[in-house]
Amino acid sequence: MSGNRTFVDEDASSGSGEEANMLDGHNKHQPVIPQSAAASKMRAAAMMRNEERFTISKCIRILDEMQGVDQTLYFYALDLFENPTARETFVSLKGERRLAWMQGKFRASSSSAA
């Protein structure tokens, strides 16, 4: 026997072009989710987590623990918490700045209503 050996690739395709599809990451037999759809799903999941962090009930718990909040400001804050951006701002602020922020919002709304 000579030293020449022939190796057979048992995994080789029949030449149908599937290997080209596999090289570019696509298999024609499996559905492909476009990158934009995958990114959209990731954004939606991140938004859900974000919404869970800034719930109205969380804002009320923080508000209930604050000192110096009179009844008028308290009920104004409850209305303010209907706005998701306001909830995020309120929860994100450090404790000592929350009251000043709410008072500023209250003054601005009172002066624009007059």
CA pair distance 64, 16, nearest whole angstrom: 69
Least reliable range by pLDDT among 9-13, 63-67, 90-94, 105-109: 9-13
For the stretch 65-85, pLDDT in tens is 999 999 999 999 999 999 999
User: Would you state the structure tokens that stand for residue 69, as one six-digit string?
Assistant: 């909040």
Q: What residue ranges do the domains of the chain occupy? A: 15-53, 54-113
User: Would you state the structure tokens that stand for residue 16, as one six-digit string?
Assistant: 């149908």
User: Would you state the structure tokens that stand for residue 23, as one six-digit string?
Assistant: 């090289």
Helix axes 56-65, 71-80, angle to 10 degrees: 160
Contact of 77 with 63, CB cutoff 8 Å = yes
Contact of 53 with 25, CB cutoff 8 Å = no
- Largest pairwise CA distance in the chain: 104
User: Would you state the structure tokens that stand for residue 55, as one six-digit string?
Assistant: 């719930």
- Tell me the percentage of the chain whose pLDDT exceeds 70: 62
Asked if the model's pLDDT at residue 93 lies above 70, the reply is yes
Contact of 81 with 59, CB cutoff 8 Å = yes
